[in-house]
Amino acid sequence: MRKTWVKRENIYYKPFYKDKSKMFLLLIFLVGISFIAYQAFSLNQLPSVQQLRRKHKQMMQSLGSKQRDVDDFDGGGGGGDGAGVGFGAGVEAVVTATQDADAIKIIRGTRLFDYDAYKPNFEGNFKCLDGSKEIPFKHLNDNYCDCEGDGSDEPSTNACAKGRFYCKYQKRHFTGRGLDVWVWTSRVNDNVCDCCDGSDEWTTHVKCPNSCA
Amino acid sequence: MRCAVFFCLLIGGWINYGSGVDPTNFKTCEQSSFCRRSRKVQSSGSKYSLISGTLNTYSDSVTADLLNKENHHQFTFKLEALVGGTFRLQIDEKTPLRPRYRVEHALKAQPKTVTIRVQESDGELTVTSGHSKAVIHGDPFRIDFYENDVHVVSVNAKNWLYFEHLRQKTQEQALPDSGEQQQNVEVLETLDEPGSWEENFKSHHDSKPYGPEAVALDFSFPAAEVLFGIPEHADSFALKSTSGTDPYRLYNLDVFEYIVDSKMALYGSVPVLYGHGPQRTAGVYWQNAAETWVDIYTAETNVVSSLVNFVSGSRKSTPPAAHFISESGIVDAFIMLGPQPMDVFQQYTALTGTHDLPQLFSLAYHQSRWNYNDERDVTTVSAKYDEFNMPMDTMWLDIEYTDGKRYFTWDKFKFPEPLTMIKNLTELGRHLVVIIDPHIKRDNSYFFHSDCTEKGYYVKTREGNDYEGWCWPGSASYPDFFNPVVRDYYASQYHLSKFKTVTEDVMIWNDMNEPSVFNGPEITAPKDLIHYGNWEHRDVHNLYGHMHLMGTFDGLQKRDPNQRPFILTRAHFAGSQRYAAIWTGDNLADWSHLQHSIKMCLTEAVAGFSFCGADVGGFFGNPDSELLERWYQTGAFLPFFRAHAHIDTKRREPWLFPERTRLIIRSALLKRYSYLPLWYTSFYELEQTGAPVIRPLLAHYPQDKEAFAIDSQLLVQQRLLVRPVMQQGVSKVDVYFPAIDDKKNGDYWYDVDTYQRQERTGSESIPVTEYKIPVWQRGGSIVPKKERLRRSSALMLNDPYTLVICLDRQGKADGTLYLDDEKSYAYRDGQYIYVNYEFANNQLTNRFIGKPKYKSDAWIERIVIAGLNRVPSSATITVNGVAQQLEVEQRDAAVYIRKPSIKMDVDFALKLNY
């Protein structure tokens, strides 16, 4: 059998809109354009770099100086008084609820991510982060472990065997990306500097060099 | 060449691996001529009597001459009354050819004597002091000891006193065949015996220049049903009868892969033995540092006599008895009359002392291995404990840290900067312990060796040369620590100006101090070596390690007079507990060895060595994860808690096992750390009173006959009952809850995890999980705990306390707590807080014992009360007249009082409100 050669070039003409692959590419292009436009729009809604920087600075200030925090927290059972009787000097509420909407005030040792969890709920209680238990808000950070499951009620003290203390210095991009820098709460106030900024030693008298850089 | 021999030794060890000790390396009684000779007297008996008219009475003692009626040799006899219901009996030759060795340095101090009253009536002499009384019978010689008119101990009741007097060696005596020509009867009797004037064992020759000089004496315990004591043996707590077997042997030996359930000698020798019955407990401390064998006769062994008794209707059987047989020295026995077990233990520690209050870190967890390879290895292991949030206090370095086993030096390649490494540890509150052994490498460029050679500090051979043995460094010599000058020299080496590569926080481990000599007879030094004062090694062998420790202790104390030294030793003798903690030596990763860790430490504890532990995981062999978990759980409730492993074993740090194992081990570690205040208080009370920290059940339940032989359980003081899981793959363990009286009344026991109450006495089957350590707290006790986790105990100093109150049937409880700076000797100047808590009538109060001078930042964060009938609504705490309401929460079967926040040095009263 002889093969015959048929030239197919001019059999028919296919218009652009009937070519599915081209149509598909166009669709993707249009979706892409609209997505970018949306991004550009929402980016416009974000705070400016300067605003972010300012807010970050506020947050850091709110963690406060060592001295100030000692004042608003009773480090052990005993206050410093000579009689050595500590009870009554206990902390009513370490956390001052955020009155000023703009000022971010976070509890020492927590991370920004959990910021909302460390506010009293509608019953005025604190719910352990693992959801296991609800405790009166005044028991938050009072140097006694109530949330034994995850130690979340004592982010600033060493009362719980489990639990994390997030160092003041967080190695983060100012947009918030990066890994959390934390130590076990068992390292808090144990006379050993664990956070590079020494923020875990805030009632002891250890001089921690800043080694964060 | 040296390397080759060492290699052979290693290979030899490796081939032997797993098969256990080769018992033929060690003598049996039959192979030890003095034991053979002295044991003969058990069938024939001996004839000793006091010579009338020689009696002298002093204000605190009586003396008399004693006669061997068979060979007419004369002895002096002395009976002294000591404070606290103890008598001291000494028998020596009246005119020995040369002085016989008397043990030195074992007693804490010269014992204090008390005045006696002496009455003589028809051949009997009654010596009375206080409640105790000794009745001396002249012929046959025998002494009966009475406590409150109950007969508790008899000396020589079986007439097995056997005293080989020193004699001249004659030409004929060297040739046993020509003995018939001898006229002297006494010479003939020893001539029958080969081995009296020289003895061979394997390829070793003992020249025995002074001939036979054994001493032996029997002690009966008419009020006793069980005998225990004479560590160190890998055997049950209750001593077994030795009829038909070898006696228990006391001779410090480095036994490679020792076997359990054995009467063979081990690393330490403490010749103290107790007889215990429901009514009375008594003890005998046989002060002799030579090789000693102890024959045990238990009450029920003699079938014939019990049959006779049965037929004749008599309920009295032969009392349990012990026959002490020593190779040389004199008879120097302390008879302690009790009456209760704790009294006898305290009478013994009154003589030989106790471990001083140790630094707290030494009661925490120790991580050791032969060997951590280098500085990086040490730092990494320490960091891994932090990474997994597990507490750890001390890193240990075995022999490989040294420069070619030259002690007081460091391997410059593996450990180039020891001070940095030590600083990295101490910054975290951790410590380092390094090993210093007594064998000194014979290397002229090694300063210690050249000093000892020049000054003649080494133990000498008979010919007067320095003795040369074989040990880890190869050819080695052994300093003569009996010489005070040598001890001073050795102690001075610890000074930081000499041993510059450590700090004052580095503590010491003394191993191989039996002494271990690889090529010596029975892996130790030959008996005919000469020590300071011209004493033979035979006379002082069991004391060698003790003298080594004295030097180390002195060195550490002088290095830093403010810090309490910590030393771990393997060899020990009576009194060594004053200087060091002990461990049970080179055990095996096997369940039977795990079980024996408790048996051995209980025996050591009643013999003064409360500070005792076993290598967690087993020294030889590789434990599987279950064995390792259970071993950590057991070790957490023995006073000395250290994981250690042989160089040929696989690495076994907890994170190298599956996560489950790591978590189980972590929870065992946390449990240990939470009870540190209890351990610390116990050790303070040990120093103050001599009461052992861990105790057998019979210590507090003396009337419960079923509890006498129980050695799978232990008491921590009178507060905790511990029965670790020590069998493979079990889901239940049998626990025996002891009875106070013979009517099956017992204490309440509260499970420390759930506070479930155990009310019945007797055996109970308790379900266990892999995490469970079966521990109960006694109803009626208060236990202080620290429940906050830290990475090391030093960082817990100011952490708050939790008081756990478990109520008895009357709703009462009490318990003590002791705290100080946990490190220095300031507590001797009153810088401590010692407080007794008492709970009664729904009220908790405290009472300070001594003025609470120590300033502590610690406080009480939590009070747990178990055993209340009703749940209180709240609690009121009153301090200095100011009252404050506290919250109360019920959890499990207990009531938690939240945050009393009381400082430790404040008087308070806490009342429960309903």
Nearest CA in chain B to A142: B899
Q: For B350-385, what is each residue's pLDDT tens digit?
A: 999 999 999 999 999 999 999 899 999 999 999 999
Contact at CB, B787 and A191, closer than 8 angstroms? no
Q: For B133-189, what is each residue's pLDDT tens digit?
A: 999 998 889 999 999 999 999 999 999 999 999 988 775 544 444 444 444 444 444
- The answer to whether residue A161 neighbours chain B at the CB level (below 8 Å) is yes
Q: Which of B670, B674, B785, B788 to probe by mutation at the A interface, max A CB count within 10 Å?
A: B788
Nearest to B294 by CA among B231, B234, B345, B352: B231
Give pLDDT, residue A76. 42
Which carries the bigger pLDDT value, residue A212 or residue B835? B835
Residues B287 and B131: their CA atoms lie apart, in Å, by 24
Q: For B238-251, what is each residue's pLDDT tens digit?
A: 999 998 899 999 99
Q: For B13-68, what is each residue's pLDDT tens digit?
A: 444 444 577 888 899 999 999 999 999 999 888 889 999 889 999 999 999 999 99
Q: For A154-200, what is each residue's pLDDT tens digit?
A: 888 999 888 889 888 877 776 767 788 889 998 999 889 888 888 88
- The answer to whether residue B880 neighbours chain A at the CB level (below 8 Å) is yes
Give pLDDT, residue B312. 53
The shortest CB-CB distance from A84 to any of B429, B789, B903 is to B903
- The answer to whether residue B859 neighbours chain A at the CB level (below 8 Å) is yes
Contact at CB, B860 and A142, closer than 8 angstroms? no
Asked whether B746 and B761 are in contact (CB, 8 A), the reply is yes
Q: What is the mean pLDDT of residues B201-228?
A: 92
Give pLDDT, residue B892. 83
Residue B658 — very low, low, confident or very high, per pLDDT cuts 50/70/90? very high
Nearest CA in chain A to B391: A186
* For residue B4, pLDDT beyond 90: no
Q: For B90-128, what is each residue's pLDDT tens digit?
A: 999 999 999 999 999 999 999 999 999 999 888 789 999
Give pLDDT, residue A119. 81
The conformation of residue B371, written as its DSSP 8-state character, comes to T
Residue B883 — very low, low, confident or very high, per pLDDT cuts 50/70/90? very high
Q: For A52-98, what is each residue's pLDDT tens digit?
A: 777 777 766 665 443 334 334 444 443 333 333 334 333 333 444 43
Q: For B814-833, what is each residue's pLDDT tens digit?
A: 999 999 999 999 999 999 99
- The answer to whether residue A191 neighbours chain B at the CB level (below 8 Å) is yes
Nearest to A110 by CA among A65, A170, A161: A170
Q: Which of B889, B903, B910 to probe by mutation at the A interface, max A CB count within 10 Å?
A: B903
Give pLDDT, residue B301. 45
Tell me what percent of the residues of chain B surpass a pLDDT of 90.
85
Residues of A in contact with B670 (CB under 8 A): 161
Give pLDDT, residue B306. 53
Residues B290 and B36: their CA atoms lie apart, in Å, by 16
Tell me what percent of the residues of chain A surpass a pLDDT of 70.
69
Please report, as a single letter, which amino acid is at residue B779: G
Q: Which of A70, A74, A87 to probe by mutation at the B interface, max B CB count within 10 Å?
A: A87
Q: For A94-116, what is each residue's pLDDT tens digit?
A: 444 434 444 556 788 888 778 88
The token pair at B511 is: 């191993």
Q: For B508-518, what is each residue's pLDDT tens digit?
A: 999 999 999 99
The token pair at B404 is: 């070619």
- The answer to whether residue A92 neighbours chain B at the CB level (below 8 Å) is no
Tell me what percent of the residues of chain B surpass a pLDDT of 70.
94
What domains lie within chain B, and their CATH numbers? 33-165+213-352 (2.60.40.1760)
Give pLDDT, residue B176. 46
The residue with tokens 């880890």 is B472
Distance from CA of A111 to the nearest CA of B (A): 21
Distance from CA of A137 to the nearest CA of B (A): 15
Nearest to B173 by CA among B140, B207, B196, B141: B196
* Distance between first and last Cα of chain B: 83
Nearest CA in chain B to A75: B857
Nearest to B542 by CA among B247, B270, B349, B352: B270
Give pLDDT, residue B309. 54
Contact at CB, B791 and A159, closer than 8 angstroms? no
Give pLDDT, residue B643. 95
- The answer to whether residue B874 neighbours chain A at the CB level (below 8 Å) is no
Q: Name B267's Cβ contacts closer than 8 Å, sequence gap at least 6.
A: B232, B252, B253, B254, B255, B514, B545, B570, B571, B572, B585
Give pLDDT, residue A61. 64
- Report chain B's mean pLDDT, rounded to a whole number: 90
Asked whether A153 and A140 are in contact (CB, 8 A), the reply is yes
Residues of A in contact with B858 (CB under 8 A): 76
Give pLDDT, residue A78. 39
Which carries the bigger pLDDT value, residue B546 or residue A99? B546
Which residues of B are catalytically annotated? Answer: 511, 586
- The answer to whether residue A125 neighbours chain B at the CB level (below 8 Å) is no
* Distance between first and last Cα of chain A: 83
* For residue B76, pLDDT beyond 90: yes
Q: Name B131's Cβ contacts closer than 8 Å, sequence gap at least 6.
A: B85, B147, B148, B337
Q: What is the pTM of this model?
A: 0.88
Residues B411 and A83: their CA atoms lie apart, in Å, by 54
Q: For B735-782, what is each residue's pLDDT tens digit?
A: 999 999 888 889 999 999 999 999 999 999 999 999 999 999 999 999
Residues B321 and B224: their CA atoms lie apart, in Å, by 9
- The answer to whether residue A83 neighbours chain B at the CB level (below 8 Å) is yes
Asked whether B697 and B710 are in contact (CB, 8 A), the reply is yes
Contact at CB, B862 and A144, closer than 8 angstroms? yes
Q: Name B499's Cβ contacts closer than 8 Å, sequence gap at least 6.
A: B408, B493
Q: Name B313's Cβ contacts closer than 8 Å, sequence gap at least 6.
A: none
Q: B295 in helix, strand or coil? A: strand
Q: For B273-287, what is each residue's pLDDT tens digit?
A: 999 999 999 999 999
Nearest CA in chain B to A191: B795
Q: For B128-140, what is each residue's pLDDT tens digit?
A: 998 999 999 988 8
Contact at CB, A87 and B901, closer than 8 angstroms? yes
Distance from CA of B353 to the nearest CA of A (A): 36
Give pLDDT, residue B25. 87
The token pair at A6 is: 């048929």
Q: For B772-815, what is each residue's pLDDT tens digit?
A: 999 999 999 999 999 999 999 999 999 999 999 999 999 999 99
Give pLDDT, residue B308. 55
Sign of CA dihedral A185, A186, A190, A192: negative
Give pLDDT, residue A207. 86
Q: For B428-482, what is each residue's pLDDT tens digit?
A: 999 999 999 999 999 999 999 999 999 999 999 999 999 999 999 999 999 999 9
